[in-house]
A and B are shown apart, each in its own frame.
Chain A
């Protein structure tokens, strides 16, 4: 990896302008950037911006783009609204030193297929705040293709904790997931998500609709939703697992996540 020029902006506006005018490549945590042999003409170092915070504002919890996964793991604000949910999701990611570097913004912006956090954020119906571009719901952001630069400022989730659960299967505790799943009940609807398929997280809309608007779906409805989720989403193969394995495991993970939310 080679960086030919670096911009260390003093403001979001300067950062955005450098992306727009010079095609600057934003670096958040920077933990993945060195993997590969790319040549970056102009890199944009986001660590100079004041984007590391977890705070509440108008009924939302705001996660600044440069907030680390360790910050998320230890956040009293998130624990107050979501109990141990975020800790469960980010806690097994590599180790404490790495979690001190990996950022929320980098995870979301990278749209990584293996991400555990993105699976949860999609289930919780998070919103992505993009400087100059505005707010976007998480599903739209993941699928958004834009020729203009997108600079993530922060992620928003409801301060009123949505009931959610996350589960995954992996070869070792700190390895990337072979498949992960999250379920959330917003009070009016169920949101069921599968990630590490190995493609990026996707919402199983038909499966969620089968559960209706009740917080206590029946065992039969849960099984039907779990089977439907596995049928409506597609799976692929990589070094960790093949398509058949993932599609067989998917309903099990979804069912477990729904049961945990229902309990």
Chain B
């Protein structure tokens, strides 16, 4: 079947199988910034925005994306780059494999909650795993990023 999806502002028609998950479909269509991790919805590296809401694309049937809007990290490149500067400054970038999904969730949190307290941040970001940083650097980066940017829209 064919689905028509708006990806990062661009309308695309993609041919899929009924059982395809969104991660694979996006990667086959060239959006390789969407990383494949645990493939069970637990690690968060494949997170994208679906109509502005963060979802693990590995656990979402691609056919359900028909007529909807998908945003990968490339679709929020400017904000992601700004956030990445904070990750780097705090030594929290490391291998970078989890960064696209993590940054998408941070930006979704910013849109939804502005600049929340630390407990809320940890709760919101708990589904995005990182096996390098130990999270402390990431948390410092998120706090500093939100302090300077929470008034800006994404």
Contact = CB atoms under 8 A, between A and B. Distances in A.
A98 B53 contact: no
B42 A94 contact: yes
Interface stretch (B25-33, B58-66, B78-86, B139-147): B58-66
Contacts, number: 82
A4 B123 CA distance: 38
Contact of A31 (B18, B59, B123): B59
The interface residues of chain B, by DSSP majority, are classed as mixed
B5 to A, nearest CB: 15
Interface residues of B, number: 31
Interface size on A, as a range, is: 20 to 34
B126 A101 contact: no
Contact of A95 (B18, B50, B125): B125
B64 A98 contact: no
Given A4-B18, A92-B126, A174-B127, A98 B61 contact: no
Contacts of B21: 34
Interface in B32-60: 39-42, 44, 47, 50, 53-56, 58-60
A99 B1 CA distance: 28
B105 A1 contact: no
Interface string A42-56: 010101000000000
B136 interface: no
A256 to B, nearest CB: 22
B15 interface: no
B125 A6 contact: no
Interface in B88-140: 105, 108-109, 123-128
Interface of A: 1-6, 27, 30-31, 33-35, 40, 43, 45, 47, 91-92, 94-101, 173-174
Interface of B: 1, 17-19, 21, 39-42, 44, 47, 50, 53-56, 58-61, 63-64, 105, 108-109, 123-128
